Amino acid sequence: MNDIGTVIERIGEFRTHPLGFFYLLDKGVEGMSARVHVWLPAGSDRPENDRHQHSFDIHSTVRLGRMQSELFHFLETPGRGEQEFSVSYLDGKSILSATGRSGFLDPISRFDSRAGDSYFLQAGVIHRVAVVDRPCVTVLQTFEKGIPIYSYGSDAEEAPFERRLADVYEKDELMRVLKLVAD
Ligand SMILES: [Fe+2]
């Protein structure tokens, strides 16, 4: 996946992600995966999503653009604050269900990453990413830790999101952006 030429050959496998980017996923052995995330030029500037965490450790390298990451602690405060949702996957869709816990998300760190920068995010650490400069491309290696996935927000429920394949127009755009970082 570090070879962008190989990624371009697989442009037809990119899918939409609920956080607003397109991704290509290679499942490896023993819980390791390689991923490429692409944010196309015409996207919103707001943070891509509410805060969430992952079941895997992440090594991420920014190849194009710039993003800002924020990390949080969840402080449970029954009946107040934001809701916690557990995230599950079924038939290519991601589904959020309220866990009944609520609380505040206390910021613990914030950092910027631009082309050439790498960072490590441990499984279970709550974060959110805002893409500052588009288009943006990141190459990731993930290591599955098998812990539950949560996301946080104030919406009661979120509709299931279908991770569809990129359409013809989106594939052209992905190709154009990936050529900017081809080795
Ligand atoms: Fe994330």
CATH number, domain of 18, equals 2.60.120.10
Structural domains of the chain, count? 1
pLDDT, one tens digit per residue, over 151-179 is 998 765 566 778 899 999 999 999 999 99
For ligand 1, the distance from its centroid to the CA atom of residue 80, given in whole angstroms, is 24
For ligand 1, the distance from its centroid to the CA atom of residue 3, given in whole angstroms, is 23
Taking the C-alpha atoms of residue 86 and residue 103, their distance in angstroms, rounded to an integer, is 14
Q: Tokens 């500052």, residue? A: 132
pLDDT, one tens digit per residue, over 99-127 is 999 999 999 999 999 999 999 999 999 99
Taking the alpha carbons at both ends of the chain, their separation in whole angstroms is: 12
For ligand 1, the distance from its centroid to the CA atom of residue 123, given in whole angstroms, is 10
For residue 57, the one-letter residue type is D
For ligand 1, the distance from its centroid to the CA atom of residue 124, given in whole angstroms, is 10
For ligand 1, the distance from its centroid to the CA atom of residue 58, given in whole angstroms, is 9
pTM here is: 0.89
Q: Long-range contacts made by residues 23-28, C-beta under 8 angstroms, separation at least 24?
A: 26/1
Token couple for 33: 């995966």
Domain residues for 59?
4-179
pLDDT, one tens digit per residue, over 13-47 is 999 988 889 999 999 999 999 999 999 998 766 65
